[in-house]
Amino acid sequence: RLANAVTPLWRLPYQEQLQVKHESQRKVLQTLASRLEELGIGAQKPGGLCCPLQPVVPSPIINGYRNKSTFSVNRGPDGNPKTVGLYVGTGKARNIVCVKANHLENMPPKHKQVAQCYEEFISGSPLDSCILFHAGGHWRELVVRTTSRGHTMAIVTFHPQELGQEALAAQKALLKEFFTSGPGAVCALTSLYFQESTMTRCSHEQSPYQLLQGEPHIFEELCGLKFRISPDAFFQVNTAGAEVLYQAVGKLCQATGDTVLLDICCGTGTIGLSLARQVSQVIGVEVVEKAIEDARWNAAFNGISNCEFHSGKAEAVLPQLLASWEDARPLVAVVNPSRAGLHYRVVRAIRNCGSIRRLLYISCKPEGEAMRNFLELCCPPDPRKKLTGEPFAPVLAVPFDLFPHTVHCELVLLFTR
């Protein structure tokens, strides 16, 4: 049941998985075409699409490709309240159980090993797992991040409840000892982090990541560059697939030596830095402050001096950046937002900046909120919404399989005007 929930295509041969994904992306483009037609924009292309669709670009690695996994702590099928795994079932049906992820094909052995060791540690702890915040308990989720360089970072989330500083310090010491000189030492962790959190999801600003042992960062190589990764920094979950994606983005940008590349939702700067050598300047914007620190470090370490990175919400930073844009150099935008899509103010700033003639929208869920963005980019000007710039039009769609065995796909949609 867990394999079917997390990796629903795991039984299909890989070529068939790619066909399933191609079909789902085709439906996305058909939906966009009909929505644009309702707005009186553009003619449909063959097959009822809004633009040509290329075949799905396969992932170079099919099994064990994930470089990040998040494990929950909850009751297992056997009733053990300290099971470390992933959820099956729904809250609505009240049938949620936590199942060990040992058999999932998209997860590398190292992630499974760290999860197993964490379960062993909390099983021996007198403290309960925190299943419901109000019901007490302490041990919560585990995040494991790995790199192709053999680095492993583990981040343990802990609900302090009423524990004092002395009791907290004792727990941190026990956890550190387990992973450095106890049974957990087999994991050979590069970094062990601890986060005290009273919320479901917590940023470093809300509750700092505390380094218990090892190095503060892990490192990855991508497109011939070295990247530093902080505990909460965004990095594409399939490194080998991301490399193929970024190389294609470079070609689709058609950037020349005098181009300025605007990298919106830039994370640790991977896209902008990988393309920095073929453009005159890169401007990155990202909400996670630690990721921007990483991006600046990555630029300096790789000897790249034509990049500037801005920390803050894109909807606050970008309108200011573009409102006074008078640079004569061609401006190409690449956006890679979360599933929530771009804030309307970001779309408006892009639309109203006449210098941007080419836009690449990278979406991991194009049928979701991204669809709203596509329509906002392409709709006729609307003075009431302060949308005065001329509309974009979709001209090419290229799907990338960054998530083998799942139904998800990364879609790159090229817009021009």
Interval 314-335: pLDDT, tens: 888 888 888 878 888 889 999 9
- pLDDT, tens digit (0-9, with 9 covering 90-100), for 145-170: 999 999 999 999 999 998 999 999 99
Q: What pLDDT is attached to residue 259?
A: 92
The reply to whether 74 sits in an annotated binding site is: no
Out of 1.10.630.10, 2.60.40.1730, 2.170.120.12, 2.40.50.1070, select the CATH number for domain 68-216: 2.40.50.1070
Measured distance CA(90)–CA(319) in Å, rounded:
40
Q: pTM for the full model?
A: 0.91
Burial of 179 (0-12, 13-18, 19+ CB in 10 A): buried
Query: Which residue matches tokens 């956890």?
Result: 175
Report the chain's terminal Cα–Cα distance, integer Å. 47
pLDDT of residue 43: 67
Identify whether the C-beta of residue 255 lies closer than 8 Å to the C-beta of residue 332. Answer: yes
Tokens representing 96 are: 């949620």
What string of pLDDT tens digits covers the 417 residues of the chain?
Answer: 999 999 999 999 999 999 999 999 999 999 999 999 988 887 667 778 999 999 999 999 999 999 999 999 999 999 999 999 999 987 787 788 999 999 999 999 999 999 999 999 999 999 999 888 888 889 999 999 999 999 999 999 999 998 999 999 999 999 999 999 999 999 999 999 999 987 777 766 678 999 999 999 999 999 999 999 989 888 899 999 999 999 999 999 998 889 999 999 998 899 999 999 999 999 999 988 888 999 999 999 999 999 999 999 888 888 888 887 888 888 999 999 988 888 898 999 999 998 999 999 999 999 888 999 999 999 999 889 888 899 999 999 999 999 999 999 999 999 999
Domain ranges of the chain: 14-60+238-416, 68-216
Tell me whether residue 336 is annotated as binding: yes
> Is 210 annotated as ligand-binding?
no
pLDDT of residue 357: 92
The predicted pLDDT at position 201 comes to 73
Task: State which fold the 14-60+238-416 domain adopts.
Answer: Rossmann fold (3.40.50)
Give me the active site residues, please: 364
